[in-house]
Amino acid sequence: MIEDRVETFDAIIIGSGQAGNPLALALAKEKWKVALVEKAALGGTCVNTGCTPTKAYVASARAAWVISTADKLGIEVPKSPKINLKAIKKRKDKLVNDSRIGIRKSLNDSPQISMIRGTATFIDKTRIKVGSRTLKSYKIFLNVGARARIPEGFEDVNYLTNTSILQLDKIPDHLLIVGGSYIGLEFAQIFRRLGSKVTVLEMGKTLISKEDEHTSEAVREILENEGIKVICRAKCLKGKAKKSGKIGVAFRQDGKDKEINGSHLLIATGRLPNSDLLKPENAGLQLNDKGYFEVNERLEANIAGIYALGDCNGKGAFTHTSYNDFEIIQDQLFGAKERTLNDRITNYALYTDPPLGRAGMTLKQARETGKKLLFASMPMSKISRAKEKGETQGKMEVIVDADSEQILGAAVLGTGGDEIIGTFLTAMYGNLSYKKLMNSVQTHPTVTELIPTLLQQLKPLED
């Protein structure tokens, strides 16, 4: 038997997501011979099933909401908006396809990059199998992303995931969503605004359990104000296929067995890293108890020369953290070797409308540090610009280390919150005293101008 020919590269990158593509281009610029392996569409989650398509849907849903609530601003609309999901999907598909074309062109323009289609698995710590091909390198970068986690009990029903729901061309009559976190809540509001009846079932006692309870309750109030039904503390969920064609979800709440029926079911109970698909045990790679690759602050796994970037390393499940992973690797390979995971401040957004922007610690996390804390919170209803826009739901809050005067965390739940949080984040990265920001002059009329006023309200936080 003749052994497959081994193709040798300076680097193998598995996955063309938001860390893999820029890394391939950066390595090619340094004249590295690069193999970029991808089993699905170019661009990873962000381009294909995450940021780009979902935020396109958020925009369409907001347009429908603006029309339906225009009377509150003195604009009389004769009829309710007519929703054309096929047109919304077509617009989304064009945005996704344009991004793919751009990525493909960038990669094809580099003769140093070999694009290899197929599923990659480890043979050993330096060799990868892709179909009938064997690739070898002493530098292997894993950017394989994650997939929807499907809990037991839903094997016998026709469920949707964050991927398949984007392929619908008809508005669901009643969308059931199992999982009350970021993905579930964004789709809940999207389809409610597009005309669906929506019910969210969450096992925990609050939505988005990573947030402080008062923040979670504020998000819940916003969603319920739009007619979304929220059921928390729903345990032991199980899907049931109905003869009528509907889908039922059985659950237990406060000691009572209950069931709810809908036309469609979205499973949004978290993500599983795709690390297991690589057969990592063949290379001796270690995974933690949640299936993520164990990496150090330079993103290197337990095997020298193998690195994990993006969703599969458990260090941040966002496009911006994935791209920062690329920046860390680039600096470690070709730069000053100073950038590491330790530099990164947690930040993200929940893209409901209004959105929630988060930077740094939650209040619960800050309390656990044992530091002397200052805290302030103000409602959006106090902000002139929010009142003028007719969007006064939400709040803004900030946590400060009383001794160092450093901002430890901030949350902006309200109109523009996903953008405004950047002001706090900039101050945190700059190690500024909160007093610098408090004494700054911000543009009027904006929502951001509340920040100095908010900081003036700081008070010691009691235990």
Whole-angstrom distance, CA of residue 63 vs CA of residue 238: 35
Of 383, 370, 378, nearest to 396 by C-alpha is 378
> CA angle at residue 48 from 82 to 353, to 5 degrees?
50
Cβ pair 321, 355 in contact under 8 A: no
CA distance 438 to 426: 14
Q: Which CATH architecture has domain 347-458?
A: 2-Layer Sandwich (3.30)
Residue pair 183/45 in contact (Cβ under 8 Å)? The answer is no
Residues 62-98: tens digit of each pLDDT = 999 999 999 999 999 887 789 999 999 999 999 999 9
For the chain, give every residue range classified as CATH 3.50.50.60.
Answer: 6-148+272-343, 164-269
Beta strand pairing status for 459-460 and 407-413?
A: unpaired
Instruction: Say which residue the tokens 């619960």 belong to.
Output: 364
- What pLDDT is stored for residue 430 in this prediction? 98
The residue type found at 9 is F
Q: Which residues of the chain have pLDDT under 70?
A: 1-4, 463
Question: Residue 452: is the preceding peptide bond cis (ω within 30°)?
Answer: no
What pLDDT does 463 receive? 67
CA 463 to chain CA centroid, nearest Å: 32
Taking the domain 6-148+272-343, which CATH number applies?
3.50.50.60
CB-count burial class (<10 Å; 0-12, 13-18, 19+) for 109: exposed
pLDDT in tens, 116-143: 999 999 999 999 999 999 999 999 999 9
Q: Which positions ≥6 away from 267 have C-beta within 8 Å?
A: 148, 150, 151, 154, 159, 160, 161, 178, 179
- Name the segment(s) of the chain with CATH classification 3.30.390.30: 347-458
How many Cα atoms within 13 Å fall on the side-chain side of residue 144?
27
pLDDT score recorded for residue 1: 34
Backbone conformation region of residue 208, classed left if phi is above 0, alpha if psi is from -120 to 50, else beta: left
pLDDT at residue 2 in the model? 40
Under DSSP, the state recorded for 177 is E
Alpha-carbon gap, residue 231 to 348, rounded angstroms: 25
Residue 143 to residue 228: CA distance in whole angstroms: 36
| Per-residue pLDDT, 195 | 97
At residue 252's C-alpha, the angle toward residues 250 and 255, to 5°, is: 150
Between the CA of residue 102 and those of 99, 341, 438, what are the distances in Å?
Answer: 5, 29, 42
* CA gap 176, 404 in Å, rounded: 47
pTM here is 0.95
For residues 69-102, b (16+ Cβ closer than 10 Å) or e, as one string? eeeeeeeeeeeebebebeebbebbeeebeebbee
Q: What CATH number should be reported for the domain whose range is 164-269?
A: 3.50.50.60
